[in-house]
Amino acid sequence: MDVVVVWTGATASAFQRALRLTNESFAAALRIAPRTVAKWHAAPDGEVSTQMQRILDMAYAEADIPVRERFQALINPPRRSQAAALRVAIAVVLRGPEVLLVQRRDGGDLMWQFPAGVVKPGGDAAVAAVKETRAETGVHCTVREPLGCRIHPATGVEASYLLCDHLMGEPANLDPAENAEAAFVPVSALTRFIPADRIYRPVLDALGVAA
pLDDT digit string (tens) for 54-81?
Answer: 999 999 989 888 888 888 878 876 554 4
Question: What 8-state DSSP symbol labels residue 8?
Answer: B
Tell which wins on pLDDT, 7 or 155: 7
Determine phi and psi for 122, rounding to 5 degrees: 80, 0
Residue 12 in this model has a pLDDT that exceeds 60: yes
- Give the orientation angle of helix 65-75 with respect to helix 9-19, to 10 degrees: 140
Q: What share of the chain is helix, strand, coil (3-state, %, to 5)?
A: 40, 30, 30
Residue 3 in this model has a pLDDT that exceeds 60: no
* Percentage of residues of the chain with pLDDT beyond 90: 48
192 within 8 A of 139, measured Cβ to Cβ: no
pLDDT digit string (tens) for 129-168?
Answer: 999 999 999 999 999 999 999 988 777 788 999 999 999 9
207 within 8 A of 164, measured Cβ to Cβ: no
Residue 107 in this model has a pLDDT that exceeds 80: no
Q: What pLDDT, on the 0 to 100 scale, is given for residue 156?
A: 79
Helix (H) or strand (E) holding 98: strand 98-106
Closest CA to 134 of 179, 87, 175, 181: 175
Report the chain's mean pLDDT, rounded to a whole number: 88
- What pTM was computed for the model? 0.61
Question: Can you tell me the distance from the alpha carbon of 77 to that of 85, in angstroms, rounded to the nearest whole number?
Answer: 13
Question: Can you tell me the distance from the alpha carbon of 110 to that of 104, in angstroms, rounded to the nearest whole number?
Answer: 6
Average of pLDDT values for 193-204?
92
Closest CA to 179 of 105, 99, 106, 90: 105
132 within 8 A of 174, measured Cβ to Cβ: no
Q: How confident is the model at residue 5 (pLDDT cuts 50, 70, 90)?
A: low
pLDDT digit string (tens) for 21-45?
Answer: 888 999 999 999 999 988 898 888 8
Collapsing DSSP to helix, strand or coil, 154 comes out as coil
